[in-house]
């Protein structure tokens, strides 16, 4: 507490002068914020009399191309892998369904007749739909 009081009284006694300029738009003072440990390291290693120059660029600390491009590659890789699995599944399902169907050679052997009024059966035994005059029927 005594130290803070001394600082407070010292600041009151010192007349603080505001900084100003005639043309403030042309003033450009580059600055950066660093941690205390980084500040101590800079202060101890890079002294002004050694002739070091610190260059501050306007670039963002995050290079979005270094983050975005690998992220995009991973997303596209996942997408194309998913597409590959879906195509493989569709091919597999199509082949399985084709194996369960009756081959065309056997299907051609089943006789086909046209329905006429007065035939003994008027409805399909499978779908229970009425036959239409002139409709092609396979007799099982």
Give the position of tokens 């590659």.
73
Nearest-angstrom CA–CA distance, 95 and 92: 5
pLDDT at 79 > cutoff 90: yes
Lowest mean pLDDT of 15-24, 32-41, 89-98, 131-140, name the range: 15-24
Reported as a pLDDT band with limits 50, 70 and 90, residue 18 is low
Which of the two residues, 29 and 81, has the higher pLDDT score?
81
More confident residue, 91 or 13: 91
d(CA 36, CA 44): 12
User: Residues of 58-81 as b/e, b for ≥16 C-beta within 10 angstroms?
Assistant: eeeeeeeeeeeeeeeeeeeeeeee
Check whether 40 has a pLDDT greater than 70: yes
């Amino acid at each position: 507490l005594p130290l803070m009081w001394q600082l407070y009284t010292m600041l009151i006694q010192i007349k603080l002068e505001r900084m100003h300029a005639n043309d403030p738009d042309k003033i450009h003072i580059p600055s950066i914020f660093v941690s205390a440990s980084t500040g101590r390291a800079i202060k101890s290693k890079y002294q002004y009399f050694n002739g070091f120059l610190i260059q501050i660029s306007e670039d963002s600390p995050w290079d979005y191309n270094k983050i975005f491009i690998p992220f995009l590659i991973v997303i596209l890789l996942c997408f194309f892998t998913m597409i590959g699995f879906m195509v493989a599944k569709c091919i597999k399902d199509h082949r399985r369904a084709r194996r369960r169907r009756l081959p065309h050679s056997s299907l051609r052997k089943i006789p086909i007749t046209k329905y006429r009024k007065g035939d003994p059966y008027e409805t399909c035994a499978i779908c229970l739909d009425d036959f239409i005059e002139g409709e092609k029927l396979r007799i099982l």
